Chains A and B, each alone.
Chain A
Amino acid sequence: MSSPEQLIIFDNVSKFYGEILGVNRVNLQIAPGITSLVGPNGAGKSTLMNLMTGLLRPTRGSITILGIPTDQPEQLFRKVGYCTQFDSFPRGMTGREFLNSFLLVHGFDRKRANELSLVALERVNLVEAADRKVAGYSKGMRQRIRLAQSIAHEPAVLILDEPLNGLDPMVRAETIALFRKLASEGLHLIISSHILHEVDMMSDRVVLLNNGYIVAEGNIHGVRDEMEEHPMQILIRCDEPAKLAAYVFAQNHVVEARLHDDRRGLFVKTRDADRFYLLLNRAVAEGEVNVESVAPVDDDLSAVYQYLIGTTGGSA
């Protein structure tokens, strides 16, 4: 069991904007690693992030980040970096000046601020553009300089609101690799994104939000396993799919068996994936079929998102 000093804890947090709901009754404990906040626009992702960083105050409940309350910025931001969605900057600054200035505000001396700026610029591949005015940067470069600003003071918790927006595919891949590296160094990364396959690829766990409520949280496969009302779909590639269909259909937990369009595979919907895999092993052992491959079809974030939230989410 982790101590509060290692966790981000939401304790019954609600936020209302007047009469409009931001988030309601959020109870969460977030451990190190990459946690993605997923949900449609207006679900409450940015509200949760702004609450975590003290830019918003909860109407009810409390939040602590590694044991620090969010109303103490002087303590909090020694440990936390936040890359917001606000695409705006102080006027007239170069990328390097932008990083340096706020490191000085943090309290670092000039020499250390220069060192940290350089490291951050290197991490986001912006060294060459560091002495150009931020106002002349492309959208992707502005996104990266904001990311650099959020990591420059070497935080233990990194909160990133749609950090992949505006990045080209190559930089996206590099940025995801950077996130994985930071997570492997023991950081907490809280990332919001609407690009589900990227979230799927990089997250250790997800928090699904809809209309201000958390609808599911945890490891994506764990979340999927708990959705008993949606039977698991599995595609079995084999030499005799029709024979296999007859073999498995007698089982109670198999609710549907359908041949693939190319007649070389079988889609099976089952309420108990573990029992189905045992059954399949027996069929193979008894020589009923030769199986080429077995893969769950709806065991990813997109499927979970579709089942729980009812839309298909976003794509790149």
Chain B
Amino acid sequence: MSSAIEAVSTRSEKRDVNWSLWLRQVGAIFRLEIEKNFLGRRAILIYLIALLPLFPLLILALVTPPGNEWRDFNTYSTIYAILYNGLILRTVVFFGSAWIFMNLFRGELVDRSLHYYFLSAVRREVLVVGKYVSGLVTSIVLFTGTTVVAMLLLYVPHFYSQSLRYFTEGRGLVQILTYAGITMLACVGYGAFFLVVGLFIRNPIIPALLLYGWEWLNFLLPPLLKKISVIHYLNSLVPVQISEGPFAVVAEPTPAWIAIPSMLVVTLLVLILAAYRIRHMEIRYGSD
């Protein structure tokens, strides 16, 4: 029998062939994984998490609470900022990313099906990229959707015509795009973290909860320690800053031109660590 994937002779040609082969393989892995992420049994929890903020907003759309602030259009950007910070960013994106990215490898170890990838003629680094990209697309589609729909659901039922102008002509469009961008960045950062946690630790719930606690207590930390967290960089980017309470230690937000590249560089380093781990990983389902 002959192999259909043949190496080529010259070095430059080989590099070209490898790149196109790797891209094709990333595409194949991506398609397999995206189907699992959206249609698999584990997807149900992700949909529930993504819909979580929409349930209270639906109730709010039907019943306006008492209090003047709920009748003032200008306070809605603050209300959304609170909702986004507390519920969407810290809960939906955090736990949603945890579930999606931890399951990319850990889920297949539990299902005992990871070996099919390991027995394919694919660099394990390519496997990491394919799986990470699939997780990223899944989380971005779902949670950016949540971010946008939540904002529209907050504004539109109460101030229909004002909202239309706000989102088409006013600064609403910039805000909605900024929040969507922050959600994407959160998926990038949390995704890489949870991917690695799922690879190194058999029960990833514990490190996830530790990170969750660290992120929640971020407002109490001294400025230097604040910078060792994802939430600090994300909060630095939100268009409407909210008070973190009387006990909060105030720190200067990190400028976007530092926050975004920093998060991307750290993500890249974490992915390199994941690739190293996968490269040396053994399959022993009994012990996993």
What residues of chain A have their CB less than 8 Å away from a CB belonging to chain B? Answer: 17, 50, 53-57, 71, 73-79, 81-82, 84, 86, 88-92, 101-102, 104-109, 112, 116, 149-150, 153-156, 185, 187
Complex contact A86–B112 (CB within 8 A): yes
> Contacts A154-B3, A156-B1 given: A90-B36 contact, CB under 8 Å?
yes
- C-alpha spacing A238/B262, complex, angstroms: 91
On chain B, the residues within 8 Å of A77 by CB distance are: 119-122
- C-alpha spacing A50/B115, complex, angstroms: 10
Complex contact A108–B283 (CB within 8 A): no
Complex contact B122–A106 (CB within 8 A): yes
On chain B, the residues within 8 Å of A155 by CB distance are: 1, 3
Question: Sorted from nearest, which 8 A-B pairs have the closest CB atoms?
Answer: A104-B28, A88-B112, A77-B121, A154-B1, A55-B283, A78-B3, A105-B120, A74-B123
Complex contact A92–B39 (CB within 8 A): yes
> Contacts A86-B285, A187-B1 given: A105-B112 contact, CB under 8 Å?
no
On chain B, the residues within 8 Å of A150 by CB distance are: 119
> Contacts A73-B122, A106-B120, A106-B122 given: A185-B1 contact, CB under 8 Å?
yes
On chain B, the residues within 8 Å of A105 by CB distance are: 25, 28-29, 32, 117, 120, 122
On chain A, the residues within 8 Å of B28 by CB distance are: 101, 104-105, 107
- A-B contacts counted at CB < 8 A amount to 112
Extra A-B contacts (17), CB below 8 Å, given A78-B121, A90-B113, A153-B4: A50-B283, A53-B119, A71-B279, A73-B118, A75-B121, A77-B120, A78-B3, A78-B5, A82-B119, A84-B119, A86-B285, A88-B111, A88-B112, A91-B111, A104-B27, A106-B121, A108-B4
B169 in the interface (beta carbon within 8 A): no
- C-alpha spacing A75/B122, complex, angstroms: 8
Q: Mark B4-38, 1 if CB is under 8 A from A, else 0.
A: 11000000000000000100110111011001100
> Contacts A102-B116, A105-B25, A154-B1 given: A56-B282 contact, CB under 8 Å?
yes
> Contacts A56-B284, A101-B28, A105-B120 given: A88-B2 contact, CB under 8 Å?
no
> Contacts A86-B112, A89-B113, A92-B40 given: A101-B118 contact, CB under 8 Å?
no
User: Can you list 20 pairs linking A and B with CB atoms under 8 Å apart?
Assistant: A50-B283, A53-B119, A71-B279, A73-B120, A74-B122, A74-B126, A91-B41, A91-B111, A92-B40, A101-B32, A105-B29, A105-B120, A106-B5, A107-B24, A108-B5, A112-B4, A116-B4, A155-B1, A155-B3, A156-B3
Q: Mark B265-288, 1 if CB is under 8 A from A, else 0.
A: 000000000000001101111010
B232 in the interface (beta carbon within 8 A): no
- Nearest CB of A to B205, in Å: 22
On chain B, the residues within 8 Å of A86 by CB distance are: 112, 115, 285
B226 in the interface (beta carbon within 8 A): no
Complex contact A154–B2 (CB within 8 A): yes
- C-alpha spacing A17/B284, complex, angstroms: 10
- Nearest CB of B to A122, in Å: 15
